[in-house]
Amino acid sequence: MKFVTREYSDKVEILTMNRPERRNALGGDILKDLLESVDRAANDKDVNVILLAGNGPGFSAGADLKEFSAGDINDNFDLNRRLGAFVRSIALIRKPVVSAVDGFAMGGGFMLAASCDVVVTAPATRWHLPEVSLGWLPGFGLDTIAARVGPFAARFLSWSPIAIDGVEAHRLRLADILSSPNETARETAFRYAKDLAAMPPHAVLTTKQFFSPSITAGAEVMDDLANRYFAQDVLHETARANMQRFLPKKTAGVQPHPGPA
């Protein structure tokens, strides 16, 4: 895998997004590697728990805005759809998935981290959904955030102009575990994952299966709605101007091509 590295220890598969030069931005290439590596771990009889982390300065800066800006509306809609489907699938994997969030979790990276079964954050981690400030609604994951923190807090997080830290994320129950100041989230998450992996896997599985329906009941429908609002929003002049900032220089000045939502 080019963009995801694999380590194995004590029945825990550690999958690390490895695109530090792009701050682990979520585009089609890294999504492909995530899908393949998670599927392999989920079907490995020697793996009881999957741990997801990020290499470099943070967990993930979110959707790859260079990729989004270079595509047309239909391309953007499709990438959001595929990212949303992957994030929702975490609740259906037959093993617990733990996220270790150091540095930052932004946009789609925020959604990915929060959609894991257990979320571990460092106190100084920056959590933020910057999409509304750029001119569009996040295209997936909002229903899962609402399941974690409630609809009012989810709305507040969605349009907040400022980031929150890991301490506040833990207080809001966006994160389940707060690492100590002298330990990384990854270290804390691995210790927790190792303990969880030592428990009877069949009972851990049935526990996950019991709660999954209440967590994911409306997620697919709500993601589709959010993605349609996203496609509507990015046609606005403010959103299009912000998209232009992320275009590669050779294509600068090319306007996103409107298409059906």
The pLDDT mean for the chain works out to 92
Q: From 16, 97, 28, select the one nearest 68 (Cα to Cα).
A: 28
3-state class (DSSP) for residue 140? coil
The pLDDT value given to residue 1:
74
The pLDDT value given to residue 257:
42
CA 107 from chain centre, in angstroms, equals: 8
Render pLDDT for 1-16 as a digit per residue (tens, 0 to 9): 799 999 999 999 999 9
Q: From 93, 92, 87, select the one nearest 105 (Cα to Cα).
A: 87
The pLDDT value given to residue 254:
42
Does residue 208 carry a pLDDT above 60? yes
Render pLDDT for 178-189 as a digit per residue (tens, 0 to 9): 999 999 999 999
Confidence of residue 233 (pLDDT cuts 50, 70, 90): very high
- Token reading at 49: 């728990």
Class of domain 4-180+200-251: alpha beta
Does residue 258 carry a pLDDT above 60? no
Kindly report which listed range (148-152, 232-236, 245-249) carries the lowest average pLDDT score: 245-249
Percent above pLDDT 70 for the chain: 93
- Token reading at 211: 């709660």
Q: Do the beta carbons of residue 257 and residue 82 sit within 8 Å?
A: no
Confidence of residue 25 (pLDDT cuts 50, 70, 90): very high
Looking at the DSSP assignment, which residues form a beta bridge with residue 178? 121
DSSP 54-74: ESSSSSB--B-HHHHHHS-HH
The H or E element that residue 128 is part of is strand 126-128
Q: Do the beta carbons of residue 141 and residue 108 sit within 8 Å?
A: yes
The values of phi and psi at residue 47, to 5°, are -105, 125
Confidence of residue 75 (pLDDT cuts 50, 70, 90): confident
The values of phi and psi at residue 54, to 5°, are -130, 140
